[in-house]
Structure 1
Amino acid sequence: MVIARASEAVDVDIHVFAEALKPEDRRVLAESSRPVVAVFNKADLAGFGGEGPVAAATARCRQLRDLTGVAVYPLAGLAALAAVDDTVVDEELLDALRVLTTDPADLGSTDRFAATDHRLPRAVRQRLLTRLDLFGIAHGVLALRGGADRAGLMVALRRASAVDGLLAGIGVAAAPARYRRLADGASDEQVAARMAAAIAVVRAAGMTVDDGITASAHLQRAITWQRYSRGPVSRLHRSCGADIARGSLRLWERAGGVAERLP
């Protein structure tokens, strides 16, 4: 089912599934009237061996993308939630993870982790499972054993959960809608906002936009994207090219606006 929207303006539908795409999942993806991003949740259970379950889930996501034409991203949901919400791992759980770095528990299964005798109280181990599951616990212990502090633990969980890849994918899918939603305007702030949104759109399409900050870089960028906007491109990209050129000319003017011979 669709469980989230990318923004209040409903730029993107986010469809979450686990294990496999069912016929009803494929129907939702095919019938969405907005850009849609699919999330392969519980990627930490996608199989072991090789480079690990998330790597296996990533390979499966590529196959599903080719099959459906929709961007599909893996996610280890509990680890991702802990990584983006620093209240999930409270001091009690952080201390428990630290204990596990020197006094390992049985991580072979959730039942064994919760039931096998250990100096951590069973209730604390159950909280760890509820907040992080075995996957998050294992990666948290590895990070702390390697010398990570709380911030380093969050970084490790973000990396392990693949949440940043998903967030980047949502940004790519939402870029055209954000661009279209910006109202026309001529103030420096409005021109800059449209330029930034236009750059996000063309970068999402795989193109490169120079980030130079000198007057000559701004002018060269303006010329490049003005030419692009006059080429055989879609209406959206024609508008984006014009906005990048317009914003670059504003920056060129603010940088001195002195004409010079371009290479």
Structure 2
Amino acid sequence: MSDVVGLPVRVRVVGRPGCGRRTVTRVLRGAGVAVVTSTAAADLDVHVFAETVKPEDRHALTTSPRPVVAVLNKADLTGFGGSGPVAAAAERCRLLSERVGVPVYPLAGLAAAAAVDDRILDDEMLGALRRLTVDPADLGSTDRFATGRHALPDAVRRRLLVDLDLFGIAHAVLALRNGADRTAVISALRQASALDGLLAGLEAAAAPVRYRRLTEEFGDSAAEEAVAARMAAAIDVVQAAGMTVDADVSAQAHLRRAVVWQRYSGGPVSRLHSRCGADIARGSLRLWERAGGIPEALP
């Protein structure tokens, strides 16, 4: 197998100035995503916007030559009420996805950065947050937190705002009040930031890229390794699209899966999904043969 097939899927972070491209880049790199700056080297675009999709965002999302995942950064500023700002942002992202035709995910960028960068939540920050659990400060606005009377030095409060903002401060303080240690605070920030939802979205968008690499590598080879690899990559693609693939390993299940996906491949689906269906069917038939399957009447 070539080195190209084994390369991680590379993303390029784009978007309008002021929407948090640097923060999102830092978050993705901290989470282990391969972020590149070269257009030629990128497999996916991550388009960052804030508040709403503007005409220039819509143009970029619909004209990119690569698959695109959009990120509503600063999701913690969406508005309060209900289940909180990030939940409200997630619903907005769902509606925007339907409108622009690409997946859109919310992200509270600063909280996510603190969750993936061990240098942010150091002893000074953690000590300041613990102080806030017993000596609350006014978190009603940035100005009130920064300038209100409190025992925390102004410089420490400014650092808390720069690194966590009010949203991250509030979630970290809540976690500490509930008995969290440093690791648990980081986990709480990660969950609150919606980072894992974005990473899952990137993984789903990467599935077709990996599949195309494999098909270019193996072509129509009937070798055992090629058939198994193409089937596995094809399953990732259709599952990323929300479909379920029967994972039963009995001979009957392999045959049934082959029939289902062969029919699917001939249906009104995209060329990519037609090829994936055919690869799942071929791989399933190979597994059926290896399991000692014998011809039988189909239901």
TM-score by length of structure 1 reads 0.85
Match of 1:84 among 116, 123, 133: 116
Residue 158 of structure 2, aligned match among 123, 126, 140: 126
Q: Indicate which of 18, 32, 44 corresponds to 2:64.
A: 32
Match of 2:270 among 221, 234, 258: 234
Structure 1 residues 243, 154: closer, same or farther in 2, change over 3 A?
Answer: farther
Distance 1:21 1:10 in 2: 23
Deviations 1:141-195 (A, max 9, x none): 1112122233322222122111122222222223222211122155555444322
SS at 1:14 equivalent: strand
- Taking the aligned partners of 1:115 and 1:141, their CA distance within structure 2 comes to 19
Q: 1:204 aligns with which of 212, 224, 240?
A: 240
In structure 2, what is the equivalent of residue 157 of structure 1? 189
C-alpha RMSD of the superposition? 2.8
CA pair 17-187 structure 1, distance change in 2 beyond 3 A:
same
Is 1:221 the counterpart of 2:253 in the alignment?
A: no
Q: How far off its partner does 1:209 sit? A: 0.8
Q: Aligned partners of 2:176 and 2:139: how far apart in 1?
A: 16
1:204-228 Cα deviation digits (max 9, x unpaired):
2221112234455444433432343
Greater displacement, 74-83 / 168-177: 168-177
* Residue 138 (str. 1) matches residue 176 (str. 2): no
| Alignment match, 2:11 | none
The Cα of 1:199 is off from its aligned counterpart by 1.1
| 1:21-80 superposed Cα distances (whole Å, 9 cap, x missing partner) | 222222212221222122111111111222222122223223322332222221111011
1:247 counterpart (274, 277, 283): 283
Stretch of structure 1 that moved more, 102-111 or 35-44: 102-111
CA distance in 1, matches of 2:116, 2:285: 38
Counterpart code for 1:158: R
My pick for the range that moved more, 37-46 or 17-26, is 17-26
Of 126-135 and 219-228, deviating more is 219-228
Cα deviations by residue, 1:89-122 (Å, 9 ceiling, x for unpaired): 1232223222222222221222222233333333
SS in 2 for 1:154: helix
Residues 217/149 of structure 1: CA separation in 2 closer, same or farther (3 Å cut): farther
Counterpart residue identity of residue 183, structure 2: A
What are the equivalent positions in structure 2 for 1:29-108 lying under 5 Å apart? 29-108=61-140
Whether the 8 Å contact between 1:216 and 1:260 is mirrored in structure 2 is: no
Task: Please name the residue that 1:257 is paired with.
Answer: 292
Instruction: Note if contact 1:11-1:178 (Cα within 8 Å) is conserved in structure 2.
Output: no
Q: Choose 131-140 or 181-190, whichever is displaced more.
A: 181-190
Q: Percent identity?
A: 68
Change (3 A) 1:190 1:144: farther
CA distance in 2, matches of 1:252, 1:151: 47
What stretches of structure 2 of length at least 5 have no aligned partner?
1-13, 16-20
Code of the residue aligned with 1:140 in structure 2: it is A
Tell me the TM-score normalised to structure 2 length: 0.76
- Structure 1 unaligned blocks of 5 or more: none
Deviation, structure 1 residue 260: 8.4
How many residue pairs get aligned? The number is 262
Letter in 2 for 1:163: L
